Amino acid sequence: MDKRGENMFDLKGKTALVTGSSQGIGKEIAKTLRDAGAKVFVHGQNFSEKLDLAAKYVGTDSIVEADLFESGVADKLFAQTGGVDILVLNASIQIKKPWGEFSEEEFDRHINCNLKSSYFIIKKYINYMKQKGWGRIVTIGSTNQYNNHPELAIYGVTKAAQMKLVQNIAPYIAPYGITINNIAPGAIETPRNDKALADKEFRDKVVASIPAGYIGNAGDMNGAVLLLCSNEGRYITGSEIIADGGMHL
Ligand SMILES: NC(=O)c1ccc[n+]([C@@H]2O[C@H](COP(=O)([O-])OP(=O)(O)OC[C@H]3O[C@@H](n4cnc5c(N)ncnc54)[C@H](OP(=O)(O)O)[C@@H]3O)[C@@H](O)[C@H]2O)c1
């Protein structure tokens, strides 16, 4: 609550789409936006029981599907949601391999799912936000924008490029009351990496690389998301919050 007794992060009356909210970080972000009062669309690659369960957890019955690899994904999503006030581009893919071993198909899959889809979804959704004179766009990046990882060369490139996209777009949409920012998580325990982190030796190595001394959980982006998606974040754009327990340092 602020000094006027209002909830500073109130999102009542807003609509939001969170891509990749069937599990992990996206599911927690969707719940946070819902708890703050927004009507939230949860999204997965396909309709599934997992997505239904995520929607139940979030507290919404607005469920949409679209494979970010496919062309026309922005139109497909928009046809299901219509315009939204808040767009959180969280879904991504990550294929781990030594830098020289990626196939053309794997390279394209990274580019389409983690970068190209972000551009076309933003482009599709921006007019509605412009008409309303208010909008919030948050991309989810990674500390791999900065760190070199022996098996994440292409993934890191897509996340760094997405940040550049955020910076390139921000000045042109700021006059319409629309902000765009990136949140870069560090090592976060989600279904993506639960198998890898179950290996004690690997887990200990990861923990040792985090100044805070522990691996984050899927809810550790929620505070940053609320700030960037609410009126309190209106003066923050083209910027980034790194939420990684100091790992990038
Ligand atoms: N976990 C970490 O340590 C970490 C660290 C840094 C950055 N990040 C970033 O944070 C975000 C969330 O990570 P996470 O660990 O929560 O991911 P996750 O558990 O792997 O979940 C990925 C989500 O993206 C969706 N998705 C995957 N491929 C898709 C496709 N082709 N089309 C549409 N949706 C697709 C999945 O939907 P389905 O379930 O339908 O497949 C799922 O909802 C990602 O951008 C990731 O790069 C994560």
Return the CATH number at 141.
3.40.50.720
Ligand 1 pocket mutation, candidates 17, 18, 146, 190, criterion most atoms within 8 A of CB? 190
CB of 88 sitting under 6 A from ligand 1: no
Average confidence (pLDDT) over 19-41? 98
Is 35 within a domain?
yes
CA distance 8 to 6: 6
**pLDDT given for residue 2 in this prediction:** 55
CA of 7 from ligand 1 middle (Å) equals 30
In a domain, 179, yes or no: yes
> Average pLDDT, stretch 183-206?
97
Q: Which tokens in the block code for residue 21?
A: 């909210």
Residue 86, strand partner residues = 16, 136
Into how many domains does the chain fold?
1
Q: What is the pLDDT of residues 71-126, one digit of tens each?
A: 999 999 999 999 999 999 999 999 999 999 999 999 999 999 999 999 999 999 99
What is the three-class DSSP state of 223? helix
Quote the pLDDT of residue 1.
Answer: 52
Residue 5 falls within a domain, yes or no? no
Q: Which residues contact 117 (CB under 8 A, 6 or more apart)?
A: 68, 69, 73, 74, 89
248 lines ligand 1 (CB under 6 A): no
Q: Is 212 within the bounds of a domain?
A: no
CB 233 within 8 A of CB 182: no
pLDDT for 86 equals 99
Residue 1 lies in a domain: no
pLDDT for position 204: 98
